Structure 1
Amino acid sequence: CHGAKPPPNPEFTLKPKKKKIIQQNEGVPATPCPPCPELVWRSCVGQHIGAERMMVCSDKSQFSCENLCGNPLPCGNHYCTKTCHAFENQLRGSEACEDCSLPCQQEREPACPHNCPQRCHPGDCPPCKVLIKRSCHCGAMVHVFDCIYYNTLTAKGQESVRSCGGPCHRKLPNCTHLCPETCHPGQCTNADKCCKKVTVRCKCQTLKKEWVCQDVQAAYHLTGCHPKDIPKTQFGIGLIPCNSDCKSKVQVVESELQLRKSRVTEVQEPDTEKLVRKRKKRRERVLESKETTKLQKIISRAKRLLLYVLIFVILVAATYCGYKGLLWLSDWMNEVDERRQRYSRMK
């Protein structure tokens, strides 16, 4: 593969050198050629760029560069993470790349927040059949859709599908009534055009009339008040001026209230006296119960004396028993010593 090196040209050398006689081995017929000693660059078994090594031409051994394989896996999304190895069916010691066991990380089309349930695979993901919940616009019902069906709809289609078809149950912002339209997205548009009837009263609530709700709202706007700030119980009260009949009725009502108050106070006065008497009696009973007699004092003192005597007797008995026990223990120890001495003499 590589011939012998030619001799150096003396014309291009700085110093004259003696010509060397190069003996070329002439091949003998029917004899093999000697191994090639030239150095060549040889790549690793994984054919990685920049991992070549200088090797003798006649050395046919393969080597691994110890880098990651990096070949694309059959899934087409990831790469082999094994160390440098020979390709399959390339050499005898070749091995196949690893199998991809990672979950699928592709983006679904149409866009979907759910991940693909399959493992990493080539091609497109299957359609998403996860059930998603979406409430209607008024919040009275909850719909359940397939993810692929709901996400393929347009914005208008999603709004129409989410509508429950019933009346909107949301409260209007400027009055106490509910929206009469069918379930719709966004805010209620006819908030200032409510056509329901409202009973309007004067301040004393004797006169009453029926107005349309939008007229009531207009009357509140004229007075400088916003209908939203008025409570539900006071809505429509005070919009009609009072008449002379209202004043006479108010006077009659006030007189009746005064009579009722006077009767109530008269009925309650004797009750208060009875309560005071009962309280006094209870206090006297408590004081009497607290006052102890002389006999009770003598009995309590006698009990204390008996308790002290009993404690003293117990202490005396305990000391006597302890003293007797010590004497018995000393006698027993003396007997044991005498027995030991006798036993030692007998030996």
Structure 2
Amino acid sequence: MNFIARFTTLHFDFLFSLVRRVARSNMATEAVPELVRSITEKLQQGTYECVVCTESVGLRDRLWSCPTCFGVFHLPCIVYWSKSQADQNRIEAQSQGGSGAAAASASSLAESFRCPLCQSRCPTNSTAMYKCYCGQRTNPEADPMLVLGSCGLQCSKRRADAQCPHACAMQCHPGPCPPCSYQRTQECFCGAEEQTVGCSSGIEGFECGNTCGKELNCGRHYCESPCHRGPCKPCAEITTVSCHCGGSSVERLCERDLSYSCHKPCTKKRDCGQHDCELPCHDGACSICLRLPARQSSCPCGQTPLWKVYYERPDLQPRGSCTDPIPTCSNICSIPLACGEHLCNSVCHDSACLPCSEEVPVRCQCGSSSKKVLCFAQYTPAKEWKRACTALGLNERQIGTSEFPIRCQKKCKKQLSCGKHMCEEVCCGNEDHTCMKVCHKKAPCGIHECGRLCHRGPCPPCHNTSYDRLFCRCRRTFLEPPVPCGTLPPNCLHPCVVPRACGHPANHNCHFDGECTQCVVPVQKHCGSHNNKMPFLQPCSLLAISCGRRCGNVSRCCGHECDKVCHIGPCEHKCSQSFPELGAPGVTTTKKMLPNVWTRR
């Protein structure tokens, strides 16, 4: 049995060494990517580790390979990994209140998981079953002659380059497919020259150095730049373009559609060749002439057919062209006038209807009064009133007004939008009543005026802007312009430059407002009552220095000793006695009776 076991072990070692030699010889003859070579050798040597469980990949292990980084993992490990991420996403969605958006996000994330190596999103259904690297076989059998997880068939995967039509010819393998060994012909970007490139090289073109020569966006000129990648620049030629009717022309950049409308009446002739189009400048054919005998079948008012007019008036000659007058009937025209409210009351006529001469009541702008005027004054410009009156045989005074809209003499007394002023306009037609006065109050900055239209409430922030630098107090930190008015100076991290009265340097940062902080430099101090040197240093800004002993100085009022604790300033206490005058008869001057002289240090 030992002999058989030893023989079996030697046999398998020989087979493994043979497999390694064959694999190395195959890889040496082809341009195999280094990643494929590395993964294959580690799998064959049994040294490849799953990063989820940190265990080596064995011969009979079920594997899964990431389609992005091509890392190899144990299939049970990657299933556990994906389920853990799905559970985590579900918990986060529940913590957000279970809203519809959170639930939808959790469901979308459950369809994929992040690869443990490259953190790219991989579909969850790819872990449903064990497949080989090329995906052609499910549950491939473990074969010591093959790479772990390989089915042994030709890979047949398509490469990432869409221009390569060839499939991978290697045996089913981990990692990316090697570049295609075939070659193809690739044109330059302008199409003038060709080069031979690798089939899967991903080269989409090259710059040949010749003039591009492609048609530009205008369709009239060609690109004069050297052969280049991407679309050509828009045409920069300046050309003279005429409008649709040909009445005007402008210079503009060359484009595919250069036509434009000048919006003036079209000067082209209609299909009759006699009458102008009169439509606004337009593209395409002009309107047809409706006065042609073949198209005019009734009188001008449209109430009587022409054959009936000719029958009633035998003396009329048939029309030969569009310039001949159209026979009229004896009916009232009754065509709607330009006002849209009244009809023409003239007898059928072959000309434009006269302006409306009906008297209508019209209210003034403010609506407080009304006035009767001729109807045409509502829709006819004032400069054409004289011509309309001449056509109607009337005097201009009969119009009823000298201007339109009509204005009365009543002053408006409504409050304006600011709530401070009253409207004083005569016959005001303004519905909003916006106050047009300028607010001269100080803006919140306190420097400039508001400058806006008069308004309610407080003035808005100042709209002025400074184009000078805004410095801090020490002028070592600043803000670049533009600086809106009211902007606070920048925070400066440099030491304060304001000198102290004590002469000590500052121990705080630069500041713009407020006083400097108190000086805390330790110095020698004297107590207030006895002027004795303190046994320890005190902060420089501290003035009330006390040694803690009884004051003992003679009061100025009565000469008694002060019972307070050592203090600064004169000794004070409530006393009705007066201090005896020095040198008076019977008064002996002693040292204790002399007033205390205190010094502030």
TM-score bracket for this pair, using the shorter chain length: under 0.3
Q: TM-score, normalised by structure 1?
A: 0.25
Whichever structure has more helix as a proportion of its residues is 1
Larger Rg: 1
Q: TM-score, normalised by structure 2?
A: 0.16
Instruction: Choose between structure 1 and 2 for higher RCO, CA contacts under 8 A separated by at least 6 residues.
Output: 1
